[in-house]
Every structure is written in C-alpha cells, then in structure tokens.
Amino acid sequence: MQSRTMRIVVLAVVIAAAIAALIALASSNSGKSEEVSHGVQTVRVDPSGNPVGGVKTLTYNRGDRIELHVVLAAPEQAVHVHGYEYEKPAEHSPVVFSFPARLDGVFEVEVHRLDKSEGPIAELHVNP
C-alpha cells in the first residue's frame, strides 16, 4: 500500500513539474515575434542593369524574413536596399539578401551600375 502511495506522489510531482516547465516556456516566448519566411524572391537584371519584366513589387509583413536574390546578367557595382540600408557588391551573381522585416513602409531596391548610374529594380512593401 505504501509503495502505491509513493508512486502516485512521484507521478503527481512529475506532472506538476512538466506543467510548470510548459508555462515557463510559453511565457518566455510570448514577447517574441515569430519570423515568417515567404521563400526566396528573385529579381532578374538584364545586361543593361534594368529589371527583367519591370520593377518587381515584393510584399511582406513586419516580422517576416525577407529573402531576396538578385540575379545579374552582367557584373554591376552594387545592389542597395534603401531604408534598411543594406548594400552588397554586385560583381558576382546572385546577390543575396536575408534579413528580418523590422521597418514597415515602401523601400526601393536599386542597382548601382558600373557607369555610376542607378536604377530601381524592385519595391519592397512591408505592411505593419
């Protein structure tokens, strides 16, 4: 009889500890925003440094993960994401960006060409 009571007490303690651990885990994650990925968005740029098919609109929500690949037909100076102020050299293709959407608004993505001119290739729309 005593061993049965002891087993019930141990089981109750284990269950209580598991419930307490789940509550602690849930409360520690409640302040964090969950990052969502919409997959890789690709923007293709022709040999003149212009976007194939026109300026592409990329739409995300704040908290999403932005995954952008810029595929260049020819080397350029850089690709620049305005607002977020990410700029990467564009001697090699693809130029890859991966960052959280922390700012909402509309931001231009442009190519800085080797001839020192610039041109938009995409608009990044981040909803609140």
What is the per-residue pLDDT across 74-126, written as a single tens digit (0 to 9) for each?
999 999 999 999 999 999 999 999 999 999 999 999 999 999 999 999 999 99
Shared domain for 13 and 53, answered yes or no, is no
Are 79 and 118 in the same domain? yes
46 and 89 co-located in one domain: yes
Residue ranges with strand state E in the chain: 36-37, 41-45, 56-61, 64-72, 78-81, 86-89, 95-100, 105-112, 118-127
- Tally of domains within the chain: 2
Pair (41, 73) in one structural domain: yes
Same domain, 69 and 17: no
Residues 90 and 110 in one domain: yes
Note if the pTM is more than 0.85: no
pLDDT tens digits for 1-19? 577 776 766 666 556 555 6
Ramachandran category for residue 7: left, alpha or beta (phi over 0 → left; psi -120 to 50 → alpha)? alpha
* Digit-coded pLDDT (tens) for 36-87: 656 899 999 999 999 999 999 999 999 999 999 999 999 999 999 999 999 9
Asked if residue 44 and residue 16 are part of one domain, the reply reads no
Do residues 40 and 28 share a domain?
A: no
One domain, residues 52 and 110: yes
Q: Which residue segment(s) compose the domain that 112 sits in?
A: 36-127
Residues 28 and 47 in one domain: no
Among 119, 106, 102, CA closest to 43 = 119
Q: How confident is the model at residue 34 (pLDDT cuts 50, 70, 90)?
A: low
Assess contact for 109 and 72: CB atoms under 8 A. Answer: no
Q: Is residue 52 located within the same domain as residue 91?
A: yes
| 23 and 41 part of one domain | no
